[in-house]
Amino acid sequence: MNTIREIQDKILKLKKEKDICILAHSYEAHEILEIADFTGDSYALSVKAMSVDAKTVIMCGVRFMAETVKILSPDKTVILATPEAGCEMADMMDRDMILKVKEEYPDYTVVAYVNTTASLKTICDVCVTSSSALNVVKNIDNDKILFIPDSNLGAYVAESLPEKEIKLLNGCCPIHASVTADDVKKARALHPEAKLLVHPECILEVTKLADFAGSTAAIMDYVRNSSDKEFIIGTELSIAEHLQYECPDKVFYPLSDKLMCKNMRLTTLVDVLRAVNDTGGEEIVLSDETITDAKRCIDRMMELNHE
Ligand code: 13P
Ligand code: SF4
């Protein structure tokens, strides 16, 4: 039987020989982050996708993330390490549904959270991630915004930008949205000295109770730059674990044990090894038309993501 270290060494050797770059979302397991060339939140991964040198990119994350890499690097071979890894929020809305909604709101700018399919992005105006949403929506030259699919991130943006009229639909991340104000009360009672940091995919009632709300990367940066010693982490459970490795002098408590995304947990080191040695993974194939139309929406995000 191979040890974790032996599998990691095989992956590292093969990826060097075959000119492969491995990208991993920060929610992935520690042993996968260790062999990745680049780790980060959805925005950081999108930016990285535009400048990868390697001819093949393996994404350890969920399907929309691999599609985003393909849209931004269409000439590269892009492999999703675990083909079954989807995103429950991205699967809540499709192109046909939003085409109908657009007919009701013809003068609204359609803002798509990056957690959407490539096909849906083709009919949206601007993409956002959790770390770019406030800047991008603020800089859109239209006060009327249709924000899809995450009604919680959308409500958080609406609360911060009252000058915008933001229409929301019924989508959400079921994992983040499962956390309640009661969970916050219990966690605060158990850890009265801890700072509460949450992801804006949580319901607005929870986000408003937090000391800080931000993307995965923003939560991690907050911890790195803080002189506080205890933190309650209101995003996927993996982040409290990664932070505990990185900051052993600080203590991290998960806000709720419901914060576990089974899709993000699907990818194993063996999946990555199979993707690297051509016996697993799935190559992402998108038509030229889908790539061109979806890219417009992501490019617009990059242009508008400034103060
Ligand atoms: P970020 O990577 O933007 O923090 O989003 C978290 C998430 O749920 C990814 O699916
Ligand atoms: Fe999708 Fe939520 Fe899982 Fe992120 S945490 S991949 S938004 S289901």
Domain architecture of the chain: domains with CATH:
4-85+264-286 (3.40.50.10800), 90-173+290-304 (3.40.50.10800), 179-254 (3.40.50.10800)
Write out the two tokens for 263.
């899709």
Q: Whose atoms come closest to the Cα of 39: which ligand? A: 1
Output the CA–CA distances (angstroms, integers) from residue 30 to 39, 57, 63, 110, in the order listed: 11, 19, 20, 36
Round the CA-based radius of gyration of the chain to a whole number and report it.
Answer: 19
| 250-to-223, 224, 230, 243 alpha-carbon distances in Å | 9, 10, 6, 9
Distance (Å, whole) CA 265 – CA 221: 23
Q: Is 263 in the pocket of ligand 1 (CB under 6 A)?
A: no
C-beta of 115 in contact with ligand 2 (< 6 A): yes
Residue 265 pLDDT: 96
Residue 1: other Cβ atoms inside 10 A: 3
Q: Is 145 in the pocket of ligand 1 (CB under 6 A)?
A: no
User: pTM score > 0.85 for this model?
Assistant: yes
Angle 106-107-113 (CA atoms, 0-180°, nearest 5)?
Answer: 85
Q: What residue ranges in 130-289 does DSSP mark as E strands?
A: 144-148, 165-168, 195-198, 212-213, 230-234, 251-254, 282-283
Q: Residue 134 has what DSSP assignment?
A: H
Confidence at residue 92, expressed as pLDDT on a 0 to 100 scale? 98
CA angle 204, 209, 211 (to 5 degrees): 115
Q: Which ligand is nearest to the CA of 236?
A: 2
2 C-alpha vs ligand 1 centroid, how far in Å?
32
- Counting Cβ atoms within 10 Å, is residue 280 exposed (0-12), middle (13-18) or buried (19+)? middle
87 phi, psi to nearest 5 deg: -130, 120
- Is residue 152 in contact with ligand 2, taking CB distance under 6 Å? no
Query: Which one, of 172, 163, 105, lies nearest residue 134 by Cα?
Result: 163
pLDDT at 2: 85
- Report, as ranges of residue numbers, the positions in the chain whose pLDDT lies below 70: none
Cα dihedral sign for 13, 14, 18, 21?
Answer: negative
Q: What is the largest CA-CA distance in the chain?
A: 60
- Give the pLDDT confidence score for residue 161 in this predicted structure: 98
Q: What does each C-alpha distance from 145 to 110, 163, 170 come to in angstroms?
A: 6, 11, 15
pLDDT of residue 117: 98
| Closest residue CA from atom 6 of ligand 1 | 216
pLDDT value, residue 218: 97
Q: Which residues contact 178 (CB under 8 A, 6 or more apart)?
A: 256, 258, 259
Ligand at minimal distance from the CA of 219 is: 1
Beta bridge mates, 126 = 111
Determine if ligand 2 sits within 6 Å of the CB of residue 179.
Answer: no
Distance 211 CA to ligand 2 centre (A): 22
The predicted pLDDT at position 222 comes to: 98
The per-residue pLDDT for range 275-298, each reduced to its tens digit, is 999 999 999 999 999 999 999 999
What does the pLDDT read at residue 1?
78
DSSP state of 287: -
